[in-house]
Amino acid sequence: MNAVPASGDRRRHAAPAHLTFFHGPMDCGKSTLALQVDHNQSRQGRHGLRLTQGDRSRAARISSRVGLSREAVEVDGTTDLRLLVRDRWAAGHRVDYVVVDEAQFLSARQVDQLAELVDQSHVDVYAFGLTTDFRAQLFTGTQRLFELADVVQRIQVEVLCWCGAPGLLNARVVDGVMVRQGETVVVADTAPDAAPDEVRYQVLCRRHHVGGQLGPTPTGPGQLTLAGQPLADGQVAVR
């Protein structure tokens, strides 16, 4: 029988590597968790590579709504993720694990590349992404990660619909109205104070996503109305 190696004795090849996928709706704390995992890994003396695309900061960073931020490598649909890691190795850098934020934007081929890094190069991969797009359909990268990941975990940080029910789905809001058609990828934030004709996103429960009901206008003092109380003009009453 093989003894379990002491934690301080773990080398890169000592344990099988894993492809782990964390997913949830917008605002669920996905980028915060990505940075936390990166922090925990690096504290164990491991060396990581952080990847992102279309981060909210519009820069090559992983940034979270709670203010944490770290530099990352910006990838796009043409990036070969195996080559990215192997180039690091060729340059003399260690890469023990890869943290991928915004993993929903990966192509199926790129997810296959991550799986290859895990299986053939023993690199741990932690991917973080949105579950579904604004039409409540799986993103391409998310679907492939569901198919291939060793561990798939829904992020449990609770994000609530305006009605108080758990938020599951992302609504795209254009000019104050929920839309169901358009490009799959339009990067925008969930800030409720976006300019009126800007695209924003809002997390809703399934019932209110189906109904297209965005709830009371969340901006401005005194306008936040609890469900069941009278609503101001122009707001959608939902019971």
Task: Give whichever of 16 and 228 is closer to Zn ion, judged by the CB atom.
Answer: 228
Is residue 127 a contact residue for Zn ion (CB under 5 A)?
no
Q: What 3-state class would DSSP assign to 199?
A: strand
> Among positive and negative, which fits the CA dihedral 56, 22, 96, 112?
negative
| Residue among 71, 102, 116, 198 flagged as catalytic | 102
Task: Give whichever of 77 and 164 is closer to Zn ion, judged by the CB atom.
Answer: 164
- Is residue 135 within 8 Å of residue 172, measured between CB atoms? no
Which of 161, 168, 173, 178 touches Zn ion (CB under 5 A)? 161
Is residue 205 a contact residue for Zn ion (CB under 5 A)?
yes
Task: Give whichever of 28 and 62 is closer to Zn ion, judged by the CB atom.
Answer: 28
Cα dihedral 66, 67, 72, 76 in deg (nearest 10):
60
Is residue 209 a contact residue for Zn ion (CB under 5 A)?
no
| Per-residue CA distances from 152 to 125, 126, 148, 186, 197 (Å) | 12, 10, 9, 25, 36
- Interface of this chain with Zn ion, residues 164 to 183, rule: CB under 5 A: 165
Q: What 3-state class would DSSP assign to 41?
A: helix
- Is residue 48 within 8 Å of residue 42, measured between CB atoms? yes
Which of 26, 34, 117, 163 touches Zn ion (CB under 5 A)? 163
Task: Give whichever of 37 and 205 is closer to Zn ion, judged by the CB atom.
Answer: 205
Catalytic annotation, residues? 102
- Applying CB under 5 A, the residues found at the interface with Zn ion are 161, 163, 165, 205, 208
